[in-house]
């Protein structure tokens, strides 16, 4: 009998040790710094088993104050608070610095935007030699000194923005036997060169010998903007160069209005997309200051209207985003912003490095019918939960377009320099 009790006791202790180890691991993976807005509860969302055994101590105070996970922080005392997380109140697991910040409110977006890599010109992506009539490979543009990365601003005094426009000007000059006068930008320097197009035996058209790309990066969605500072955030992820897979320098870029003309529905293995067109600066116009893992950020040049949220709403700290029902704002037709239901399946605050802090699932029947789930162009669509901005849609699961990733709104605010301790490096507020 005594041996059986001992075995049961040992088995229970092994089980308890495993549970406690799992709980401790869940807590230890939390980021060392959290943000909470003054007057709101420090609510860290754990599985129920972890939360029942979790205790919080405010280390700043003497004596240390033991609290439950839902701890209200003082409304007037913005500043850092050190807290200790422990299991059952006796096993210290992790110390976290909680920065108590003044409440931040923004107006959610949902509007479609066009992203221009540069406000003007076409980008030289590389060189492509021309097989001329004598069978020799030549490159008049390279001979004139044009290099990869240069931006062609004007041809014969005409501002150029698209590949088709350049091709037409080259063909016309070639047929007439004329040189082209190119205005080229390299870094901060602008200079003039002259290039005479050569007829290519391979493509059967006149060419300069360049691979170019126009300034259009594509269509995305505005996530939020601050009506006082006019700072905005969009996309929720970085824009990378298709050739190098490196972040694109968007310091000379801009955002403009866009209209959705049609939808290519997504399916397993084939992500869908919004087909749209730029509408110009009439409704939306802004600069791009930063291109980061959490999205693009800059300043709008004029206020925006949002018929769904006409007044600013609070931004939820990442630790307060919960699993469960939410909604997104996005455009499916024209420029009309609509709301659609989703489910936040998982909150993963350990994914700060890649920005994929949320796993979401589309549940709205109409959105599923029209798009099949998350599609290209939906990136940046704001996620609203409990009347607070909690995040933005960022990526789709290729093998399940109804699911994808999102980035917590707090992380985007940090990149936008809208939280005090996230302002190292370049600031938008300057």
Q: What is the DSSP string of 103-119?
A: --EEEE---EEEEESSS
Identified catalytic residue from 379, 381, 395, 417: 379
Helix (H), strand (E) at residue 242: none
Active site residue 364: yes
- The whole-angstrom separation of Cα 335 and Cα 330 is 9
Catalytic residue among 241, 249, 364, 400: 364
Catalytic residue check, 237? yes
Name the E strands within 332-399.
337-347, 358-362, 382-385, 388-397
User: Is-contact 98 67, C-beta < 8 A?
Assistant: no
295 vs 412: CA distance, rounded Å: 7
Whole-angstrom distance, CA of residue 337 vs CA of residue 281 = 18
For β-strands 273-287 and 254-264, DSSP reports them as antiparallel
In contact, 172 and 197? CB cutoff 8 Å: no
Three-point CA angle 206, 210, 214, nearest 5°:
105
- Cβ burial of 28 (10 Å; 0-12, 13-18, 19+) is exposed
Q: Which of the residues 237, 381, 395, 417 is marked catalytic?
A: 237
Q: Which residues are catalytic?
A: 237, 364, 379
């Amino acid at each position: 009998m005594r041996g059986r009790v001992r075995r049961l006791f040992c088995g229970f202790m092994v089980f308890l040790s495993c549970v406690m180890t799992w709980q401790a691991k869940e807590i230890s993976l939390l980021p060392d710094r959290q943000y909470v807005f003054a007057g709101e509860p420090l609510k860290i969302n754990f599985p129920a088993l972890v939360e029942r055994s979790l205790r919080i101590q405010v280390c700043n105070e003497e004596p240390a104050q033991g609290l439950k996970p839902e701890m209200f922080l003082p409304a007037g005392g913005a500043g850092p608070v050190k807290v200790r997380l422990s299991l059952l109140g006796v096993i210290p697991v992790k110390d976290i610095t909680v920065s108590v910040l003044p409440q931040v409110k923004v107006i959610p977006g949902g509007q479609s935007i066009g992203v221009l890599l540069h406000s003007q010109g076409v980008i030289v992506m590389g060189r492509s030699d021309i097989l001329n009539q004598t069978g020799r490979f030549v490159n008049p543009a390279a001979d004139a000194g044009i290099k990869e990365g240069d931006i062609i601003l004007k041809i014969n005094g005409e501002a150029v923005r698209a590949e088709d426009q350049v091709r037409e000007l080259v063909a016309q000059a070639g047929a007439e036997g004329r040189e082209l006068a190119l205005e080229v930008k390299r870094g901060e320097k602008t200079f003039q060169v002259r290039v005479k197009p050569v007829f290519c035996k391979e493509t059967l058209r006149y060419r300069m010998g360049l691979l170019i790309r126009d300034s259009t990066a594509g269509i995305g969605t505005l996530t939020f903007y601050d009506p006082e500072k006019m700072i905005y955030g969009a996309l929720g992820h970085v824009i990378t160069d298709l050739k190098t897979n490196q972040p694109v320098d968007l310091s000379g870029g801009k955002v403009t209005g866009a209209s959705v003309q049609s939808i290519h529905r997504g399916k397993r293995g084939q992500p869908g997309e919004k087909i749209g067109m730029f509408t110009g600066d009439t409704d939306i116009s802004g600069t791009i200051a930063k291109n980061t893992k959490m999205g693009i950020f800059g300043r709008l040049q004029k206020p925006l209207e949002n018929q769904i949220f006409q007044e600013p709403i609070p931004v939820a700290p990442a630790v307060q985003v919960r699993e469960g029902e939410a909604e997104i704002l996005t455009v499916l037709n024209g420029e009309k912003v609509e709301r659609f239901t989703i489910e936040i399946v998982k909150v993963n605050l350990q994914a700060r490095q890649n920005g994929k802090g949320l796993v979401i699932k589309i549940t709205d029947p109409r959105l599923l019918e029209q798009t099949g789930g998350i599609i290209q162009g939906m990136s940046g669509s704001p996620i609203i939960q409990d009347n607070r901005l909690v995040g933005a849609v960022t990526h789709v699961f290729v093998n399940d377009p109804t699911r994808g990733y999102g980035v917590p709104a707090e992380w985007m605010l940090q990149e936008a320099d809208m939280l005090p301790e996230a302002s190292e490096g370049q600031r938008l507020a300057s």
